[in-house]
Chain A
Amino acid sequence: MAGKSRGVVSVEGKNGEFSESTNSNVTSQNKKAFQEATLKNSIPKRRQELLKWNGWGYRDSELIMNAKQQVELTGHRYKLSGTVMPALKDWLLSNLGARLDYTRPSQPGLTAAELPSPVINQVFLEELVTSGVDHSVDCQDRLFRAHGHTLHEVFALREGNFDRIPDLVVWPVCHDEVVKVVDLACKHNVVIIPFGGGTSVTQAVECPATESRMIVSLDTSQMSRILWLDEKNLTACIEAGVIGQDLERKLEEKGYCTGHEPDSFEFSSLGGWVATRASGMKKNVYGNIEDLVVHLRAVTPRGVLEKGCQVPRISSGPDLHHVLLGSEGTLGVVTEVIMKVRPRPPCQKYGSVVFSGFETGVACLREVARQRCAPASIRLVDNEQFIFGQALKPEVNSIIQSFVDGIKKIYLTKWKGFDPKQMCVATLLFEGTHKDVEVQEKKVYEIASMFGGLPAGEENGQRGYDLTFLIAYIRDLGFHYGVISESFETSVPWDRVVDLCRNVKDRLHRECKARGIPHPPFASCRVTQLYDAGACVYFYFAFCIRGLANPVSVYEEIETAARDEILACGGSISHHHGVGKLRQRWLAQTVSGPGLGLLRAVKQHLDPQNIFGSGNLLGAAAAGPASKL
């Protein structure tokens, strides 16, 4: 299909932003154009120049303990950059049992000598060089693509190492180059692990330690163009390597947006969203990734998998998109996505509501879902996270402001009788026309008041969402003081939300106690997404590892126990993070025996050689012969 005229309003070539359509032969001339297009990428090819090699986010943005022993966010990238959070230190010390004199600084770096030497399939490499696809064997390039951001992986970066990292990184610039790479890999039996933003939290990009074949990390970041924008149908054809912030910025220039904002939005890629069935914060207005995708194009060892039309809905047997959505890089590489776009909303407004307790908060959200009047985002955080949020408040410079804060607190606790150890907050984000927002606000606050919820202002709402991007930076600060943390999520029917939240937090506490972890953990949750039939619940879990011999395995045991508890409470294996290598043990009970067989059969057909050998979802068993079925 590439190169054909599609009869749509094409913006091709109008400016540097929207590049020419793909071509079967990448000449040196249009290669230059590709490079120009990718220059606009926020993240460079050598990501480690801009991003931390051993933690989250930008190198220049870091939470540090400043000279006054207060936590401060360095750099200039964020609204909160340069601000001091005076309460955070005490929160860390008192809530997690950290000590300022106990630190676990990261190792300075891993040198070439320490990293595994590459396994090179010489013939493959030679043919790759001939094909002209950009690549690197540099050990830091390989290391950066050896991991995502699970605790296990980050801990290995800070204090350990990896047994196996990719042997080569390739940067195809378009669909056709991906076809070339996959063809070569099939020909020479080389493993491909697709790599998008590298924000996986399921160990999905980790190399299977036992893989003896050459492993190629297929970095999609150089495929980041918007190939066309169709204003009549409100769709855009986008290369799958684009990362969230770049996609929105480019569309914004045209007055559009996708509205897909997962928490990792700054760094995660479109292809990654498809591969994991991602969910965006504003899905109530825009939908989750599966709602946004109109057409997918993926390169599999069996050939290019795609539908022959781009229609809003189709009845043609089981939906092939759903084979690729959530395939976690085990079937092929997603190269191009036709996605819905929306005109940018003129009005965006935060809000918040305080409830006397978590149960009433959940009841309120349930009612909002019942009446289907959820704003773009509505999240309910529990009391632990509410208090945590308070600890992130920036330094208050004006006496009047702190006075006002004091009054607010007195009003809530004394006047309204809210127990500070019970109350929790729902954060809201409204989007639409000014009028829409006004109507939505009225409705939501009306429902909230039925449950005793009190509006608590825009600022509290916004702080809730700020926490989302800040949390991963806080995690790195925690590591430094021996506090390890992780987040995990699930989806659950409405009638079990409260029980699930309570039981899982309780289980985390009990499991920590049983393992002799001296200080109680921070175990907290929030309800982050509303659906007709249930909700998504997101957990934060952190504890101090001082005195533990093997903190990562202790952590993993506890997370396993927590996931068992989630399933026992009627929750799912995952709402949007996926399975990866982390949650395979629960897949069989999740999809049933025949379901597992079906997944194996699909894998067997599309990738009989297990070229896409990341071992995600089905594990090493997927590589086995079909007769095992």
Chain B
Amino acid sequence: MIRCNHGFEEIIHHSGCHNVAWGFNSYNPPVYKYNNPRQPSEIRSDVIQSDRVCRTIAQLSEREGKSETELRQEAEEIISEMGHEKGMAAIRVFAIALTNTWRHMYRGIYVNKGNILKVRELCKDHPVVFMPCHRSYMDFLLMSYICYAYDLPCPVITAGMDFMAMQVIGSLLRRSGAFFIRRSFGSDLLYWAIFTEYVQTHLRNGDSPVEFFVEGTRSRSQKSLAPKLGCLTAVLETYFKAEVPDLYIVPVGISYERILEEKLYSYELLGVPKPRESTSGLWKARHILSSDYGSIHVSFATPISVHEFMKGHVDRSVHSVQPRYMSALSQREIAAAQIMAEEVLLQQQRQMVLSPWSLVATLLLHHGGCIHMKQLCTEVQWLKQLAENFGSRVDWHGAEDGSVEKMLRDILPVYKDTVTLSTDLHLRSNPVEKATSDRKGLDSATMATAVQHMMLAIYRNQLLHAFLHTGLISVAVIGCRKNVLCTEELYDRHLFLQKLLCKEFTFSSTNKKKEFDHAFLCLQHIGAVSLSDHQLHIARSTTKTTIFLQRLFQPFLFGYWLLFEYLVTHGVESGSSGQAMAIGAQTLGAHLLQQGILSHPEILSLEMLSNGVKSLLECGAICRQRNRTGDMMLVPDRTEIFHLKNELGKVIQLPVLDAKGLALPLTPAKL
């Protein structure tokens, strides 16, 4: 069954996997041509005996005075805690169980078979790394399931420790190829050595593809998170040190119509911690297994040859004068890993299929949470065309004949918890009944509005990448207070916004101009902006499209403004950590919402505010300093932030705060 013209094939509802026998089907994945077969236990002992781990043990023994035996014992414990027990039995169990479960939950799971078959061929000749986006716990189950279904070797997967503790499930995951790593082990040299070696040995010998999430954790906001480089550099190191001839990286975009964790995410973004993963928790949540979650699109990108990608970026011979397990990566290699990570995230985004629901959610937010069905149909169609004009794929299943309303009515039941279509044909977002908050300054009413808003915002976020550059250009256009704007200045403002939002969205650090030009051209060619003699005519460029696109990004700009205001007014009092700064700004934000000074409840998103802090750290507007007791703390640079605020004021009309606005209950008296 092919769907939405993008060469997708449905995999759970077709007859081939209808019964238990499918779990016992012959499964013949290709084997890497240089592989020497190993058992999981042999892999673990190879890691313990590796040069890297032995050297680290010797070093630590010298430095910390522990005996090598003791450290080796420690290493054994780490590796047995970490290692997978991948075998076919568990994978087959999953295959059967998931088919049956998913058939109840999902209307369809669609995959782009063409590229999957390409990857299957590649697995014979190269070690392969799967890098899916991370939006849900479903991601890695889907990946392994698809591999099983298409005779691809099932990957070994880096998973967070949280799962390991889960009874039965933890062990089942381990047996199907998951290996568990601690959330943070930055300074634990032994742990680092073992982790690095464990990942690398799989690639060198091509035992299985390695799968990990470059975003490090599930993106609650559904936007790509700024990449974490640890695992990627460990992977790339095998190529940098010529331990493998080449590596292929396969970015995978997974698009959910409805996310299992939507409610949890909405709360977590606002700062309500997630419950611990446990099997009993999973059991309690089993009701979700009978709900309707629409469909999923899993799209494998064209595999990237690391060798080809790194041409001109690195010189691998720099590692020639040291044993490879000792040699540190060069600055150029680390920079190249960063560029690679960006590219992978962008590729993942290009693989996304936008759901009609994300269009609906966007329009609902645009119209304050309520829209008439008729208008919705028109605008959804408009937005879909806009997205397609900018190069995105939109799932339009069921509306190919133009019956948009029929399609919308068909999908709306999926979101019955979120929206209701009233008898007067108005689609409204459902208010949240009771929202508890243990956070000071965030009363339950504010919280309820915010959660209601977040439930839509996370789906709107699913499509922001499609409008990123056109959106930022629109921001600069709408915010311009002159009659004309020359393209150079427009580009400067675009660059400023990129710098500011660098942790919020994924930008390519190597193709800035190209991306700008492309977006600008798109806007010109759809008549959204008007250009003559390199001058943008502002009045004629203030169109439905640019206004709409500008409003898409407004919440982020106000969120960053909020952070600036908070940091400027509170200075060194604003908190010593990024988390504390974000929470402080959130409190101020809640106050401003109540005052009616701000209107986007999204500005309460701690993720957004923390991203802001990270961005300021990167551009030097927040500095790391040691305090008198020697602890590291963050200190905002008021002048720098003030400057950024001014710059921001050039692209968007900012609220003016009077003393009343700042008269926070928590504000220290000295202000």
Contact = CB atoms under 8 A, between A and B. Distances in A.
Contacts of A500: 242
Contacts of A502: 34, 245
Contact of A503 (B245, B315, B319, B320): B245
A503 B242 contact: yes
Contacts of A507: 245
Interface stretch (A194-202, A213-221, A564-572): A564-572
B245 A567 contact: no
B245 A506 contact: yes
Interface string A490-526: 0000011001101100110010000000000000000
Contact of A570 (B34, B244, B320): B320
Given A567-B317, A568-B317, A589-B317, A495 B324 contact: yes
Contacts of B243: 499
B318 to A, nearest CB: 9
Interface in A551-571: 565, 567-570
Contacts, number: 34
B320 A567 contact: yes
Nearest to A503: B245
A503 B240 CA distance: 12
Contacts of A570: 242, 317, 319-320, 324
A246 to B, nearest CB: 40
B242 A568 contact: yes
Nearest to A590: B317
Interface in B215-272: 242-246
B317 A506 contact: no
Contacts of B52: none
B316 interface: yes
Contacts of B244: 503
Contacts of B323: 495
Most chain A beta carbons < 10 A, residue from B246, B315, B319, B320:
B320
Given A568-B317, A589-B317, A499 B242 contact: yes
A565 B239 CA distance: 11
Given A495-B323, A495-B324, A506 B246 contact: yes
B52 to A, nearest CB: 12
Interface in B304-354: 315-317, 319-320, 323-324
Contact of A510 (B34, B246, B315, B320): B246
B215 to A, nearest CB: 30
A589 B319 CA distance: 12
Interface in A460-516: 495-496, 499-500, 502-503, 506-507, 510
A568 B245 contact: no
Contacts of B315: 568, 589
Given A499-B242, A499-B243, A502-B245, A568 B316 contact: yes
Nearest to A492: B320
A499 B242 CA distance: 7
Interface string A518-561: 00000000000000000000000000000000000000000000
Contacts of A568: 242, 315-317
A220 B129 CA distance: 58
Contacts of A499: 242-243
Contacts of B320: 567, 570
Interface string A56-96: 00000000000000000000000000000000000000000
Nearest to B239: A568
Contacts of A565: 242
Nearest to B320: A570
A515 to B, nearest CB: 14
A547 B242 CA distance: 33
Nearest to A495: B323
Contact of A569 (B34, B242, B246): B242
A569 B324 CA distance: 10
A569 B246 CA distance: 12
Contacts of A495: 323-324
Contacts of B324: 495-496, 570
A216 to B, nearest CB: 38
A570 B325 CA distance: 13
A210 to B, nearest CB: 29
Contacts of B242: 496, 499-500, 503, 565, 568-570
Nearest to A589: B317
Nearest to B204: A499
Interface string A573-607: 00000000000000001000000000000000000
A535 to B, nearest CB: 15
A496 B325 CA distance: 12
A1 B246 CA distance: 58
Contacts of A569: 242, 316
Nearest to A504: B245
A595 B320 CA distance: 17
A425 to B, nearest CB: 20
A567 B34 CA distance: 21
Contacts of B34: 502
A569 to B, nearest CB: 4
Contacts of B319: 570
Nearest to A514: B308
Contacts of A503: 242, 244-245
A496 B315 CA distance: 17
A503 B245 CA distance: 5
A520 to B, nearest CB: 12
Interface in B159-189: none
A243 B243 CA distance: 42
A553 to B, nearest CB: 19
A52 to B, nearest CB: 37
B325 to A, nearest CB: 9
9 contacts: A495-B324, A499-B242, A506-B246, A510-B246, A568-B317, A569-B242, A569-B316, A570-B242, A570-B320
Interface of B: 34, 242-246, 315-317, 319-320, 323-324
Given A510-B246, A570-B319, 18 more contacts: A495-B323, A495-B324, A496-B324, A500-B242, A502-B34, A503-B244, A506-B245, A510-B245, A567-B316, A567-B317, A567-B320, A568-B242, A568-B315, A568-B316, A569-B242, A570-B242, A570-B320, A570-B324
Interface of A: 495-496, 499-500, 502-503, 506-507, 510, 565, 567-570, 589
> Shortest 10 CB-CB distances between A and B: which pairs?
A568-B316, A506-B245, A569-B242, A567-B317, A570-B320, A503-B245, A568-B242, A568-B317, A503-B242, A499-B243
